[in-house]
């Protein structure tokens, strides 16, 4: 069975640009969460989407936005990129929107902002 997939794997952008990251959850999973992992730190929660609605938002500026599509895939958008946005962006899917459903993480998208 395919796990959580994310694209692209790596991305290099310039300050001020916009980026879109994509995530496909495990088949049958309805919830997608996004996390940012800066080098040397643990993942930090950005968003959770369940049944196409935002169900949670972390402490990130409005430059960060996301959406979930009818097929439960998701996009994370970041506008006006800053150097500090360089990180590994992780997507996690789960069967439903709450516990005790385990979150399955994808391999991440490595974003470098120059």
Counts of helices then strands in the chain (DSSP H, E): 0, 11
The yes or no reply on residue 3 touching other proteins (CB under 8 A) is yes
Q: Which of residues 60-89 bind other proteins (CB under 8 A)?
A: none
Q: Look up residue 73 and give its DSSP letter.
A: -
Q: Pick between residue 13 and residue 101 the one whose CB is nearest to other proteins.
A: 101
Q: Which residues contact 18 (CB under 8 A, 6 or more apart)?
A: 77, 78, 79, 80, 81
Strand partners, 19: 78
Q: Which of residues 30-59 bind other proteins (CB under 8 A)?
A: 31, 33, 35, 40-45, 48, 50, 55-56, 58-59
Q: How many residues bind other proteins (CB under 8 A)?
A: 31
The whole-angstrom separation of Cα 64 and Cα 19 is 10
The yes or no reply on residue 8 touching other proteins (CB under 8 A) is no
The yes or no reply on residue 25 touching other proteins (CB under 8 A) is no
Q: Pick between residue 14 and residue 59 the one whose CB is nearest to other proteins.
A: 59
């Amino acid at each position: 069975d395919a796990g959580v997939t994310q694209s692209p794997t790596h991305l290099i952008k310039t300050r001020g640009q916009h980026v879109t990251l994509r995530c496909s959850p495990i088949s049958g999973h309805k919830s997608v969460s996004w996390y940012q992992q800066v080098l040397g730190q643990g993942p930090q929660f950005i968003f959770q989407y369940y049944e196409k609605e935002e169900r949670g938002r972390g402490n990130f500026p409005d430059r960060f936005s996301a959406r979930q599509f009818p097929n439960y895939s998701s996009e994370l958008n970041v506008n006006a990129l800053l150097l500090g946005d360089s990180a590994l962006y992780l997507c996690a899917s789960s069967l439903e929107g709450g516990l005790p459903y385990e979150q399955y993480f994808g391999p991440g998208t490595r974003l470098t902002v120059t």
